A and B are shown apart, each in its own frame.
Chain A
Amino acid sequence: MWQSLPEFGSLVLYAVLISAAYTFAVAVAASRDRLRWLRSARLGAYATSAFVGLAVFMLAYAFVTHDFRLRYVAHYSDRSMSLGYLLAALWGGQDGSLLWWSSLLSVFVAICVRWMRGRYRVLQPVVIATLMAVEGFFVVLMLFAANPFAVSLAGAPAEGEGLNPLLQNYWMIVHPPALYTGFVGCSIPFAFAVAALVTGRLHEEWLLAVRKWMLVAWLALSIGNVLGMVWAYEELGWGGFWAWDPVENAACLPWFTATAYLHSTMIQERRGMLKVWNVFLIGLTFFLTIFGTFLTRSGLISSVHSFAQSDIGIYFVWFMGLVLATTIGLVIWRLPQVRGQGRIETVLSREAAFVLNNWALVGLMFFILTATLFPKLSELVWRETIVVGPPFFNRWAAPLGLLVFLLMGCAPLFGWRRTSGRTLRKNFVAPAIAMLVVGILHVTLGARLGYPAFVAKDQTAPGILGIITQKLAMSAPLITIVLAALNVVVIGQEVVLGLRARLAASKERGAPEAVPLALVRLVGKNRRRYGGYVVHLGITAMFIGFLGTAWSLTREISLSPGQATSLGDFTMTYTGPRVCPGSPACSNEENADTTKRMVFADLQVKKGTKSLGRLSPAKFIYNRMPGSPTTEVGMMRGLLSDLYVVVGSANPETKRAEFQIHVNPFVSWIWIGVLVLILGTSVSIWPEVSWGALGVWVLTRTSLRLEAESRVARGESS
């Protein structure tokens, strides 16, 4: 065992702090055009990243060697855990997850500093200084409030407590890193925004720099949130994927503002408008990433995802205050320069549609934020306990979400600046016909197929507003289907228009292109536009997945072996309980697992007359935590619906088992949608213009190099 590991680990954290503080100071000094100092700051940033990496490797080493002297290692691992879970325990608890956050940030810092080589010379020092300040904050947190290298006061236990069984799930290995990547990725756009405000270089330069970074962060946020849904769906066993849990809500908040930014930045690039708004959105997105972390870690709210109550909340409050003050102060200081140049001439324009879309997205974010915090506020201010549950969120978030969905479909139909009535009519013909046809088909055939256009909903609020929300909720399936048709047809129409134009142009040139080739070239030449449309297709698929909850079926039933039950198209026959390890019916793998006792309740499933196989929902009783058995869902996935079975209990004597059975339509479309979204974002991120291709830049570099070569040849000093 490495005797001095705890002390050395803490020493490394101090090294990170010193290195970050030093780099911050040098970067600030370098902003006065001191090029040597800028080089020094760049190297300092790399060094800081290396030290953070060292701290992560050391903590990983402590986990792998079961060094239970470290309080964190003892609390979140035990000797029975596999290597994958031992490494996942790095971010399984408060202290380690802060180090993990810091390490992801250091990766972003290193990549960003490398990427800034040969560009953004004026912005670079402030970008590096801002990133070092953020890095410094997390190191301060670790050193003074949540040190992952702190030792247990009672000495090293012989065995660790083990990772929470709920976290011992494949999706939990990948979900936090993905979400943290999204959170951390938002630091780079924030650093660029601060740099642009500090230096006064507020033209297109920083916007272009930020776009790709924001897209990367947005993509990671999307993946992280969806992986969280997958984990909740598979592991928590309540039948759904989103429970409006405060921590889930906090994780999705920056996604809304980042989405708004990705649209509003186009207005600034195209029309020079919304400069203040864009800076505000970037600042808000970064703020929300810190706020989300604060919410999970401060113990302010209770959630299945949150860490234990701790005193690190106050550090976050100070840091959030600093972020807010910096952003607002800088915007006010630069207000004359960041005022927009143009104005929206008519509501029939793309910029107007984007602005409305921005308001809806930011409105949705504020609604979720307020509803999430309201119970706590009510407790603090009125000393009254109020529960804001999923029905409340669904009632208000669904209409706002549908408004965003509508605007997402309509915006591409408008041109920039203004759209004439004739053009608009022409553009809307095909989508309107599609919406009408799909709407009529849904109303007439939907109920027969098991997907009715209208569903029964109770009035959950008094008065006219209650009636409106009730009617909206009742017709949400029809509205969603119709809007999905709008979105798909609009995207199809855009592609067809582009393809036609390209084919016509190629024919005119005398080199006609085949349709597939023309399509590939069309997308290749306009990656941002068509990548965006592919993302819209992904979001449409996800909306269909969300819509499925309106038609989900649930049954709770108690069955004895041999008894059968039906739900939807599925028939399930209970064959009896099975306890592993020990039962001859258990597989070799199940018998070999001695870390837990597994009680399965097997069901044979049929759809019509076709046998679909065995479903084995279970309760797992971990040796380390016998008092908290986990629920293991039995699931059969399908494109049209998932069969989702949870076993409540199985009596070993009577062999009778309690089941909760769900048929969840279209859930798979959410996962398909996110794959399409990844594809679209990747297309969009792909660079269109490289700096190397810019003529004058190449010329300048070549001339400098040639001049230097000739000086060397003449024996002059460089």
Chain B
Amino acid sequence: MNPEEWLLKARPFWPLLLLFCVVLGGSVYGVAIGLLIGSGGLLVLGLVLAWMSLGELTNEEPLSLDEALELAAPERREQEKASVLRALKDLEQEHRFGKITDAEFALESARMRQQAKRLLATLDESAKARKALVEARLKRLMKSQTVPAVATSGDTEQGEP
């Protein structure tokens, strides 16, 4: 990894590094110097970020995988599924607490389960091709014994904040 790539990878830690410098400078040379260090750091940070932002406008290259993943998002049906399952959990709890009658629970629960099933089926269908691809790749990687490095790094780097 060249220094530029390394710097870009460490981007989330820039503000922390700056804060550290401010605290260190402030405690050694006084608050005013600490504030000046902070000002200088923020000026550089702002200019670099603005420059990078402008660079993106003129960049004709297709997105790299990491860049694409940064902008990717779970699809709408995933969120709907999460909502329906959460509502179903609430419903079951209310039934256990005696807030709703058995008949109402049966009716509402059947409706929600039907909705959840439909969503799961759609999601499974859309994931089938990707699932097969992952399985095939994993099998191949298992053979070459490089699975942990690839799978783990991929997941943690792109994990949610």
Contact = CB atoms under 8 A, between A and B. Distances in A.
Interface string A628-644: 00000000000000000
Interface string A105-130: 00000000011011111100000000
Interface of A: 15, 19, 22-23, 26, 35-41, 43-44, 46-48, 50-51, 53-54, 57-58, 60-61, 64-65, 83, 114-115, 117-122, 201, 203-205, 208, 269-270, 413-420, 422-423, 426-427, 494, 497-498, 501, 526, 529, 688-692, 694, 696-710, 718
Contacts of B49: 43-44, 46-47, 50
Given A114-B12, A692-B160, A706-B134, 15 more contacts: A19-B46, A40-B57, A41-B53, A43-B52, A47-B46, A54-B43, A119-B73, A119-B74, A120-B73, A205-B79, A416-B100, A694-B78, A694-B82, A702-B155, A707-B137
A118 B154 contact: no
A57 B80 contact: no
B134 A702 contact: yes
Contacts of B72: 118, 121, 700-701
Contacts of A422: 101
A708 B140 CA distance: 14
Nearest 6 A-B pairs (CB), nearest first?
A: A50-B46, A415-B99, A43-B53, A40-B56, A47-B49, A705-B154
29 contacts: A22-B53, A23-B53, A26-B57, A36-B59, A39-B63, A39-B67, A43-B50, A44-B53, A47-B50, A50-B42, A57-B38, A60-B35, A61-B39, A83-B31, A114-B12, A118-B70, A118-B73, A118-B158, A201-B76, A269-B83, A417-B108, A419-B100, A692-B159, A694-B78, A696-B126, A699-B134, A707-B133, A708-B65, A709-B150
A694 B39 contact: no
B127 interface: yes
Contacts of A38: 71
Interface in B106-142: 108, 123, 126-127, 130-131, 133-134, 137-138, 141
A621 B26 CA distance: 33
A427 B99 contact: yes
Given A36-B63, A423-B100, A526 B137 contact: no
Contacts of B137: 703, 706-707, 710
A121 B104 CA distance: 38
A699 to B, nearest CB: 6
B127 A696 contact: yes
A385 to B, nearest CB: 47
Contacts of B56: 36-37, 39-40, 43
Contact of A418 (B50, B98, B104, B151): B104
A242 B101 CA distance: 45
Contacts of A709: 150
Given A47-B49, A699-B134, A694 B65 contact: no
Given A54-B46, A60-B35, A705-B65, A699 B127 contact: yes
B6 interface: no
Contacts of B151: 702, 706
A35 B63 contact: yes
Question: Size band of the B side of the interface?
Answer: 35 or more
Contacts of B83: 204, 208, 269
Contacts of A418: 100, 104
B74 A697 contact: yes
Most buried by A among B49, B99, B101: B99
B7 interface: no
B80 A204 contact: yes
B28 interface: no
A492 to B, nearest CB: 13
B57 A414 contact: no
A692 B83 CA distance: 16
A64 B76 contact: no
Contacts of A413: 99
B27 interface: no
A706 B104 CA distance: 47
A498 B93 contact: yes
A53 B42 contact: yes
A697 B43 contact: no
A701 B69 contact: yes
A110 B54 CA distance: 18
Nearest to A209: B79
B53 A26 contact: yes
B17 interface: no
Given A44-B53, A694-B78, A35 B160 contact: no
Given A57-B35, A61-B35, A497 B98 contact: yes
Given A44-B50, A701-B158, A704-B65, A696 B123 contact: yes
A270 B99 contact: no
Contacts of A115: 161
A35 B154 CA distance: 21
Interface string B60-95: 001111011111111110111011001100110110
A75 B31 CA distance: 21
B79 A208 contact: yes
A176 B150 CA distance: 48
Contacts of A37: 56-57
Nearest to A426: B98
Contacts of A698: 155
Contacts of B74: 119, 691, 694, 696-697
B42 to A, nearest CB: 4
